[in-house]
Amino acid sequence: MIVYCDDLVRSVVISTKIINSYEWLYAIARQESAFAHDAYSSAGARGLMQLRSGTARQVAKRIGVPHKKSDLFHAEHNITLGSNYLKQLLDKFEGNRILATAAYNAGPNRVNKWLENQTKTLPHDVWIETLPFHETRSYVQNVLAFSVIYGHRPGIKSPLIAEQVLFIGRKKSG
């Protein structure tokens, strides 16, 4: 088990009702903030899951929870919003954790644009390796790897890649 404050553990347990994979949530939090609840980025992202104000406000409104910017430094609030946003991305990308992870880092519009510009379906590992942003490429690789590690410790069989996600490509119209 990860040694950290009780708030984080409690928040993750609460969040697993939203995100079915707490090890993925841990991996995102690790990559975003190294588990620092008071993390702040130059882009204005705050807290464990490094949410930007606009995203946090939109998610809080959608799920009906009160929110103010300073709440992002409270672990439970940050993970509640972050896990709901991750679920929103997971739904948008039809359960594809690779695409949802890339979108959490680079934004869903960029991921959509990359998919639209893609000329053929690619194996998932090639798709990751061809991401145009080095930061996003490393981010996705690290999140996937640490998801497996965080799942292994408590004995969760967490496949690195879901079987239905062996290839990534744009949807055919019609």
Are the C-beta atoms of residues 168 and 121 closer than 8 Å to each other?
yes
Are the C-beta atoms of residues 39 and 12 closer than 8 Å to each other?
no
Q: Which two tokens stand for residue 4?
A: 């950290």
Q: Is the torsion defined by CA of 146, 106, 165, 22 positive or negative?
A: positive
Q: Which two tokens stand for residue 69?
A: 């910017």
Are the C-beta atoms of residues 27 and 85 closer than 8 Å to each other?
no
Answer yes or no: 32 catalytic. Answer: yes
**Could you tell me where the DSSP H helices lie in the chain?**
6-15, 22-33, 53-63, 75-92, 97-106, 108-117, 124-129, 134-152
Give the active site residue among 23, 32, 94, 163. 32
| Dist CA 49 CA 115 (whole Å) | 25
Catalytic machinery residues: 32
